[in-house]
């Protein structure tokens, strides 16, 4: 049915109004970036079902610059694990500009993987026999986040390579403090190539949505990085992603995000969608003026701030009573069980009082999903009930049984009874 796409309508409305926003300046310290059209403005949103929405100029490729940083951090975390990456780089908002000499005075370790010093060290961590192989892995990974192969803007790469003395200096300093692996010159060349990877706003929104979706690209279905890696990267983006305006961003927008000097911006509404904006003029912190304004409005309008109470879900417990003779307690639940829902089920069970040795019936017929925390909670409660001599019957636990090791998992039949 046509004409009911209110998401696109909201994006189009934002685009129309914010295009008029002037202010900010296009970055020019990399000469090639200064050629960007200040009126270029596109925004795109991709849901976890892979539904795509867009407004403005979304098909023009631009170099991602710092917006590559969270995705390369994800690659390093997936390849090496959090402990090893953590030995090289911290996860603290440094409160400093993107190109600051931001190294811990004692350890020499860069604090923030979302600005240049930390990001150069992370890039150098990506495994590879030589710089070409390392970069090939980075490019491949960025492409899997985007759902299509990406390439490098050679002119922007050369332009930065010819002028990037400050980043070279940072790499040498880190080599001196022991924070950087390998040859500083090679590390920086790989990092420059990474920054010059180009993609469109439409691609970037898919990349953001992949992080929102626990590392699974919602368009291609590919698991690009494991879920704990996506969660870790979102946490780093939330605290460190917006240069030295990260605190204000969290206050006003409340979403994990990352911006870059070419005017790109990704923001992630975890378990909801990814959004991307491109508009080259930057504010004094280096964040794109229209991108910041767009995300402030989107967050407000759609109630996306992370610290908001999520909308109350449907009730979990649909029935809780004890038979008149006091011998049997029945609790029925519905929907997806997480910590909150499992707490409701267990509280309801606790309110019922079957006599000593009485039966407990737990009806999970209408439960649609259960996460690891809820599974562990239910398992533990069922074990305790059985230890206290109750006969416990769980119905409808086929879904839960699939790979569960605990009492729920051990239920041998659809209605598993244990004593
Ligand atoms: N290639 C840029 C630099 O290192 C990226 C900076 C950024 O986007 O923050 O200077």
Domain ranges of the chain: 6-302, 317-418
pLDDT band with cut points at 50, 70 and 90 for residue 104: confident
Nearest CA to ligand 1 atom 7: 66
Contact predicate 204/143, CB 8 Å:
no
Whether residue 258 lies in the annotated active site: no
Contact predicate 363/388, CB 8 Å:
no
Q: With 70 as the cut, is the pLDDT of residue 383 above it?
A: yes
**Of 156, 188, 206, 243, catalytic:** 243
**Which pLDDT score is estimated for 397?**
67
Q: With 50 as the cut, is the pLDDT of residue 387 above it?
A: yes
Rounded to an integer, the average pLDDT of 367-373 is 92
Tell me what percent of the residues of the chain surpass a pLDDT of 90: 81
**Which pLDDT score is estimated for 327?**
85
Interior/surface letters 202-229, b for 16+ CB within 10 angstroms, e for the rest: bbbbbbbbbbbbbbbbbbbeeebbeeeb
Cα–Cα distance measured from residue 252 to residue 297, given in angstroms and rounded to the nearest whole number:
10
Nearest CA to ligand 1 atom 4: 116
Kindly report, residue by residue over 182-226, the tens digit of the pLDDT.
999 999 999 999 999 999 999 999 999 999 999 999 999 999 999
Cα–Cα distance measured from residue 140 to residue 119, given in angstroms and rounded to the nearest whole number:
18
- Ligand 1 atom closest to Cα of residue 262: 8
Name the residue of 29, 69, 72, 99 to mutate for ligand 1: max ligand atoms within 8 A of Cβ. 99
Rounded to an integer, the average pLDDT of 313-323 is 92
**Which pLDDT score is estimated for 416?**
40
pLDDT band with cut points at 50, 70 and 90 for residue 409: low
152 annotated to a ligand binding site: no
- Ligand 1 atom closest to Cα of residue 66: 8
**Which pLDDT score is estimated for 1?**
62
Rounded to an integer, the average pLDDT of 288-306 is 95
Cα–Cα distance measured from residue 18 to residue 231, given in angstroms and rounded to the nearest whole number:
31
Model-level pTM greater than 0.85? Answer: yes
Whether residue 157 lies in the annotated active site: no
Look at residues 104, 145, 389, 114 and name the one whose alpha carbon lies nearest to residue 260. 114
Cα–Cα distance measured from residue 29 to residue 34, given in angstroms and rounded to the nearest whole number:
8
Cα–Cα distance measured from residue 191 to residue 141, given in angstroms and rounded to the nearest whole number:
14
Say yes or no: CB of residue 261 within 6 Å of ligand 1: yes
Name the residue of 64, 119, 160 to mutate for ligand 1: max ligand atoms within 8 A of Cβ. 160
Domains 6-302 and 317-418 share a fold: no
**Which pLDDT score is estimated for 405?**
53
DSSP designation for 31: G
pLDDT band with cut points at 50, 70 and 90 for residue 320: very high
Q: With 80 as the cut, is the pLDDT of residue 319 above it?
A: yes
Quick one: fold of 317-418? Answer: Transcription Regulator spoIIAA (3.30.750)
Whole-number Å distance, alpha carbon 416 to ligand 1 midpoint, is 58
Name the residue of 26, 261, 263, 286 to mutate for ligand 1: max ligand atoms within 8 A of Cβ. 261
Q: With 50 as the cut, is the pLDDT of residue 337 above it?
A: yes
**Which pLDDT score is estimated for 419?**
37
**Which pLDDT score is estimated for 377?**
94
Mean pLDDT rounded to a whole number for the chain:
92
**Which pLDDT score is estimated for 398?**
64
Rounded to an integer, the average pLDDT of 390-417 is 61
Which positions ≥6 away from 399 have C-beta within 8 Å? 364, 367, 368, 369, 370
pLDDT band with cut points at 50, 70 and 90 for residue 4: confident
Cα–Cα distance measured from residue 194 to residue 172, given in angstroms and rounded to the nearest whole number:
19
Whole-number Å distance, alpha carbon 245 to ligand 1 midpoint, is 16
Tell me what percent of the residues of the chain surpass a pLDDT of 70: 94
Say yes or no: CB of residue 279 within 6 Å of ligand 1: no
167 annotated to a ligand binding site: yes
Chain-centroid distance of CA 9 in Å reads 25
Cα–Cα distance measured from residue 46 to residue 326, given in angstroms and rounded to the nearest whole number:
53
Say yes or no: CB of residue 116 within 6 Å of ligand 1: yes
**Of 188, 216, 233, 261, catalytic:** 261
**Which pLDDT score is estimated for 83?**
96
Rounded to an integer, the average pLDDT of 11-18 is 97
**Which pLDDT score is estimated for 2?**
64
- Ligand 1 atom closest to Cα of residue 261: 8
Extract the runs of DSSP E, i.e. beta strands, from 11-96: 42-47, 52-56, 62-63
- Ligand 1 atom closest to Cα of residue 164: 10
Say yes or no: CB of residue 98 within 6 Å of ligand 1: yes
287 annotated to a ligand binding site: no
Say yes or no: CB of residue 160 within 6 Å of ligand 1: yes
**Which pLDDT score is estimated for 97?**
81
Whether residue 69 lies in the annotated active site: yes
Cα–Cα distance measured from residue 124 to residue 128, given in angstroms and rounded to the nearest whole number:
9
Q: With 70 as the cut, is the pLDDT of residue 399 above it?
A: no
Kindly report, residue by residue over 237-277, the tens digit of the pLDDT.
999 999 889 999 999 999 999 999 999 999 999 999 999 99
Say yes or no: CB of residue 135 within 6 Å of ligand 1: no
**Which pLDDT score is estimated for 414?**
34
Look at residues 85, 181, 79, 87 and name the one whose alpha carbon lies nearest to residue 137. 79
Q: With 50 as the cut, is the pLDDT of residue 297 above it?
A: yes
- Ligand 1 atom closest to Cα of residue 196: 1
CA atoms within 13 A on the CB side of 290: 28
243 annotated to a ligand binding site: yes
Q: Rounded to 5 degrees, what are φ and ψ at 338?
A: -120, -165
186 annotated to a ligand binding site: no
Query: Lowest-pLDDT range, 7-11, 70-74, 277-281?
Result: 7-11
Kindly report, residue by residue over 111-165, the tens digit of the pLDDT.
999 999 999 999 999 999 999 999 999 999 999 999 999 999 999 999 999 999 9
CA angle 49, 240, 58 (to 5 degrees): 45
Q: With 90 as the cut, is the pLDDT of residue 403 above it?
A: no
Q: Which CATH architecture has domain 6-302?
A: 3-Layer(aba) Sandwich (3.40)
Whole-number Å distance, alpha carbon 108 to ligand 1 midpoint, is 21
Q: With 90 as the cut, is the pLDDT of residue 12 above it?
A: yes
């Amino acid at each position: 049915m046509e004409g009911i796409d209110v998401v696109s309508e909201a994006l189009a409305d934002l685009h129309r109004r914010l295009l008029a926003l002037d202010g900010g300046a296009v970055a020019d310290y990399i000469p090639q970036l200064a050629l960007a059209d200040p009126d270029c403005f596109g925004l795109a949103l991709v849901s976890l079902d892979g539904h795509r929405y867009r407004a403005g100029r979304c098909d023009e490729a631009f170099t991602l610059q710092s917006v590559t940083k969270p995705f390369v951090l994800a690659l390093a975390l997936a390849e090496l694990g959090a402990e090893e990456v953590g030995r090289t780089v911290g996860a603290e908002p440094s409160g400093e500009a993107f190109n600051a000499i931001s190294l811990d005075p004692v350890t020499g370790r860069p604090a923030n993987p979302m600005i240049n010093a930390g990001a150069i060290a992370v890039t150098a961590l990506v495994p590879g026999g030589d710089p070409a192989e390392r970069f090939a892995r980075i490019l491949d990974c960025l492409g899997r986040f985007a759902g299509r192969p990406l390439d490098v803007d050679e002119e922007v790469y050369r332009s930065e390579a010819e002028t990037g003395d400050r980043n070279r200096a940072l790499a040498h300093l880190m080599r001196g403090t022991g924070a950087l692996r390998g040859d500083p010159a090679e590390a920086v060349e790989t990092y420059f190539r990474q920054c010059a990877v180009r993609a469109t706003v439409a691609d970037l929104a898919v990349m953001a949505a992949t992080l929102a979706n626990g590392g699974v690209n919602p368009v291609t279905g590919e698991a690009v990085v494991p879920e704990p890696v996506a969660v870790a990267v979102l946490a780093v983006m939330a605290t460190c992603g917006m240069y030295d305006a990260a605190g204000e961003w969290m206050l006003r927008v409340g979403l994990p995000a990352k911006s870059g000097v070419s005017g790109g911006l990704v923001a992630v509404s975890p378990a909801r969608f990814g959004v991307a904006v491109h508009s080259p003029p930057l504010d004094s912190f280096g964040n794109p003026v229209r991108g910041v304004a767009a995300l402030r409005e989107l967050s407000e309008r759609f109630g996306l701030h992370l610290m908001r109470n999520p909308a109350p879900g449907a009730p979990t417990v649909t029935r809780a009573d004890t038979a008149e003779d006091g011998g049997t307690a029945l609790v029925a639940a519905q929907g997806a069980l997480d910590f909150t829902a499992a707490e409701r089920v267990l509280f309801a069970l606790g309110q019922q009082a079957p006599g000593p040795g009485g039966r407990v019936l737990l009806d999970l017929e209408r439960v649609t999903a259960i996460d690891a925390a809820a599974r562990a909670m239910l398992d533990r409660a069922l074990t305790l009930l059985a230890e206290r001599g109750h006969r416990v019957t769980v119905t409808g636990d086929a879904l839960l049984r699939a790979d569960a090791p605990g009492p729920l998992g051990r239920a041998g039949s659809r209605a598993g009874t244990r004593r």
